[in-house]
């Protein structure tokens, strides 16, 4: 036992540290505990889970079936919120501990994975960077959202893919060996559906790991997805026009993902470079791209002719051809000039040699196909739509001319993960830079450019380039080996596809918990950078224990930062008279409405969870039925409100009276009663 504890002492430290902080929060006064759950969206899960546990089915309001959630986190929440029948605060306290267990597991997996590649001191710091960085933990453990379980399975997938070793030589044996990895991949998607990009890229990395060209194939697949969306972004202004042609863009993406790799294979693009001259390779690439975009153009024209889609801008396939040609020629050209003379036929990627990749490809894909097929079929028959309605609604919001939910990304920097006026994917790193830029700009009284956002971008990229240059200079060959061993190329490709899927479309109102895979990527890169720093000290012939000293002091610094942030965020003392302040809005609404009242709300998660003897109906559609969403798009949502007997409306007065889609819906249909705890309370007037 003692030997085991010594061998796993760091992992025990992680468990003790994380659970100690979790117990601190779990037993905090109720009013302060609510700081932990600072987003209304979390209570969409909580109220629905409570309803499921009490036998009402998957519904937020016990009226319509609600699909606006990710399945795996809901499965975790259901047994936890069965405790709500005893006390509404009890499941909130238990969920803090559950999140702590997942968080500790994520930290341990990060440590185990990185220890195989970099030194143990750097692996310890990598784990602590994840566990003790407030900007990361503020998203992955505090909010009560699916980001907690998503982070665990993303790191679990990386751990399995990076450590996978095939020990079987038979076809069946290789398939069985990779099945558990495929199961982890499927659970990663079910933890958050947009992890599908990461899972796909990790699968390519795993299946073709024996081949030098696996990185090139990975980059190709990423750009086959990204290029059509970038082309549409180039051709159309994000917003109403983009929304009108969204279906056409997705058709082009589908054709690109299927046809381009197939034609690249058939034309011999992936065969050994030594068998191709540069000119011959370029011709094969161009012919494959021309054929693909020609087929896409013909398909879109046919779909327009028979009325499946309203039309499509003819320049989008042309733009895709131009962008794809430039990117593919540059990437494959660099690879040809770098490796062409050294490469042998063993280095080629060929889909025809199916025996070398198909068993593991099937083993990886089979659990994904089965579980995702079941999930989509269940959704379709239970909710009336295969995917969560919340994502569809956020796409639709982007088409509204006057909505408070935000505007689609309109800057090219957004496609790289640097959106304007919102928290982007790289925020855990860039928030430190941004603060310094804002402070410096305020002190100087001006910015380098007239546009502060442009100034911010210049500083960010300068810092990134300097850091990357230093890393490469110090670490040289080992940095490439570390990046490959930690599956970082696949992680980066998946992250960029996910970012473009939001920033290159009409999607609006992205939230911090969308960007968990980017946080994992940044932490892994941070671990490699720390290893580079340790390498510098070792080259300076410092004392032998200097590495341990650096790790101890850096870890203690992170612990201090995290503890100070945690205590200020969830104080263990609440001022007298404020013990139940978190219920003030709920109590005020209860006083102004009768028991049994049906109250519409533009959000309503927290109120729905705590209010007694009343029904809160979500009107933005994120946690309402597919039927309601269809009526909302047609401007006929009043029909639904009349059918269910809605009596009151509670929400932000500006949203209700001056923003889409509410101002049209409620014109002459509501009667103002009074302000209730900062929001307007209206009497809903049903139609005649």
What is the distance, to the nearest Å, from the Cα of residue 504 to the centroid of all Cα atoms in its chain?
A: 15
Average pLDDT of the segment spanning 657-675: 92
The SS3 assignment for 618 reads strand
What is the pLDDT at residue 567? 92
Contacts of 125 (CB under 8 A, 6+ apart): 526, 527, 530, 551, 554, 555
Please report, in angstroms and rounded to a whole number, the separation of the first and last CA atoms in the chain: 76
Q: Say how far apart CA 96 and CA 469 lie, in whole Å.
A: 41
Q: Where are the alpha helices (DSSP H) in 504-545?
A: 516-539
Q: Which residue has the higher pLDDT, 428 or 660?
A: 660
The SS3 assignment for 672 reads strand
Average pLDDT of the segment spanning 230-250: 77
What is the pLDDT at residue 5? 46
For 427-463, write each residue's pLDDT tens digit: 777 665 554 444 444 444 444 444 555 555 566 566 6
Average pLDDT of the segment spanning 511-531: 91
Contacts of 50 (CB under 8 A, 6+ apart): 81, 82, 84, 91, 609
Average pLDDT of the segment spanning 387-416: 87
For 291-306, write each residue's pLDDT tens digit: 999 999 999 999 888 8
Query: For the chain, what percent of residues have pLDDT higher than 90?
Result: 56
Phi then psi for 684, rounded to 5 degrees?
-85, 135
Structural tokens at position 688: 């005649």
Average pLDDT, the chain: 86
- Residues forming a β-bridge with 679: 676
Q: Say how far apart CA 158 and CA 150 lie, in whole Å.
A: 12
Average pLDDT of the segment spanning 348-353: 57
Contacts of 216 (CB under 8 A, 6+ apart): 270, 331, 332, 335, 349
What is the distance, to the nearest Å, from the Cα of residue 109 to the centroid of all Cα atoms in its chain?
A: 19
In this structure, the dihedral spanned by the alpha carbons of residues 678, 683, 684 and 688, taken in order and rounded to 10 degrees, is: -160
What is the pLDDT at residue 353? 61
What is the pLDDT at residue 279? 86
Of 2-6, 91-95, 240-244, 615-619, the least confident: 2-6
What is the distance, to the nearest Å, from the Cα of residue 400 to the centroid of all Cα atoms in its chain?
A: 24
pTM for this entry:
0.92
Q: Say how far apart CA 76 and CA 643 lie, in whole Å.
A: 33
For 169-205, write each residue's pLDDT tens digit: 777 888 889 999 999 999 999 999 999 999 999 999 9
The SS3 assignment for 553 reads helix
For 315-336, write each residue's pLDDT tens digit: 889 999 999 999 999 998 888 8
- Residues forming a β-bridge with 682: 649, 672
Tally Cβ neighbours within 10 Å of residue 318. 14
What is the pLDDT at residue 441? 47
Structural tokens at position 164: 């996978």
Q: How far is CA 241 from CA 248, 414, 506, 582, in A?
A: 12, 19, 9, 42
DSSP conformation letters of 620-658: SSTTS-HHHHHHHHTT-HHHHHHHHT--EEEE-HHHHHH
Of 241-250, 362-371, 376-385, 407-416, the least confident: 241-250
Is the bond preceding 661 in cis, omega lying within 30 degrees of 0? yes
């Amino acid at each position: 036992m003692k030997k085991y504890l010594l061998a796993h002492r760091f992992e025990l430290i992680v468990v003790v540290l994380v659970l100690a902080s979790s117990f601190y929060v779990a037993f905090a006064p109720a009013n302060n505990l609510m700081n932990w759950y600072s987003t209304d969206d979390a209570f969409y899960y909580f109220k629905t889970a409570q309803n499921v546990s009490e036998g009402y089915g998957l519904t937020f309001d016990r009226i319509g079936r609600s699909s606006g959630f990710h399945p795996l986190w809901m499965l975790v929440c259901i047994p936890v919120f069965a405790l709500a029948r005893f006390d509404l605060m009890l499941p909130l306290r238990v969920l803090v501990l559950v999140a702590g267990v997942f968080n500790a597991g994520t930290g341990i997996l990060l440590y185990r994975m990185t220890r195989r590649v970099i030194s143990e001191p750097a692996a310890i710091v990598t784990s602590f960077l994840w566990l003790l960085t407030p900007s990361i933990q503020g998203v992955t453990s505090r909010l009560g959202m699916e980001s907690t379980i998503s982070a665990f399975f993303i790191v679990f997938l990386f751990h399995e893919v990076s450590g996978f070793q095939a020990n079987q030589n038979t076809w069946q044996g290789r398939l069985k060996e990779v099945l558990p990895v495929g199961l982890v991949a499927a659970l990663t998607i079910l933890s958050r559906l947009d992890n599908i990009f990461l899972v796909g890229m990790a699968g390519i990395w795993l299946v073709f790991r024996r081949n030098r060209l696996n990185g090139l194939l990975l980059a190709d697949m990423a750009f086959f997805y990204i290029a059509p969306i970038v082309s549409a972004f180039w051709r159309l202004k994000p917003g109403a026009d983009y929304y009108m042609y969204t279906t056409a863009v997705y058709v082009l993406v589908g054709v690109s993902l299927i046809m381009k790799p197939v034609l690249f294979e058939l034309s011999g693009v992936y065969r050994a470079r030594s068998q191709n001259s540069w000119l011959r390779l370029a011709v094969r690439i161009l012919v494959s791209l021309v054929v693909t975009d020609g087929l896409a153009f013909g398909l879109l024209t046919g779909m327009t002719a028979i009325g499946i889609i309203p039309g499509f801008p003819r320049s989008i396939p042309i733009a895709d051809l131009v962008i794809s040609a430039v990117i593919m020629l540059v990437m494959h050209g660099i690879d040809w000039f770098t490796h062409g003379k050294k490469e042998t036929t063993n280095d080629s990627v060929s889909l025809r040699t199916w025996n070398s990749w198909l068993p593991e490809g099937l083993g990886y894909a089979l659990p994904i196909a089965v579980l995702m097929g079941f999930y989509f079929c269940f959704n379709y028959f239970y909710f009336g739509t295969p995917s969560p309605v919340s994502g569809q609604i956020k796409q639709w919001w982007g088409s509204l001319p006057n909505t408070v939910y935000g505007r689609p990304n309109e800057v090219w920097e957004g496609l790289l993960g640097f959106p304007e006026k919102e928290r982007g994917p790289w925020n855990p790193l860039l928030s430190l830079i941004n603060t310094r830029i804002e402070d410096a700009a305020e002190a100087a009284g001006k910015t380098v450019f007239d546009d502060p956002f442009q100034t911010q971008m210049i500083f960010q990229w300068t810092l990134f380039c300097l850091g990357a240059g230093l890393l490469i200079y110090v670490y040289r060959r080992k940095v490439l080996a570390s990046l490959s061993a930690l599956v970082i190329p696949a992680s980066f490709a998946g992250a960029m596809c996910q970012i473009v899927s939001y920033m290159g479309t009409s999607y609006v109102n992205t939230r911090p918990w969308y960007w968990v895979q980017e946080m994992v990527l940044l932490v892994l890169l941070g671990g490699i950078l720390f290893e580079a720093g340790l390498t510098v000290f070792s080259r300076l012939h410092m004392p032998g224990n200097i590495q341990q000293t650096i790790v101890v002091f850096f870890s203690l610094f992170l612990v201090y930062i995290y503890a100070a942030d945690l205590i200020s965020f969830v104080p263990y003392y609440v001022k007298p008279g404020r013990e139940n302040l978190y219920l003030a809005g709920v109590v005020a609404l209860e006083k102004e409405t009768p028991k049994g009242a049906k109250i519409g709300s533009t959000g309503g998660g927290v109120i729905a969870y705590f209010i007694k003897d009343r029904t809160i109906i979500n009107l933005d559609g994120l946690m309402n039925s597919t039927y309601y969403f269809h009526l909302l798009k047609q401007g006929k949502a009043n029909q639904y409100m009349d059918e269910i007997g809605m009596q009151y409306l509670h929400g932000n007065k500006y949203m209700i009276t001056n923003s889409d889609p509410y101002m049209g819906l409620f014109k002459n249909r509501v009667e103002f009663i009074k302000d209730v705890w900062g929001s307007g309370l209206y009497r809903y007037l049903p139609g005649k």
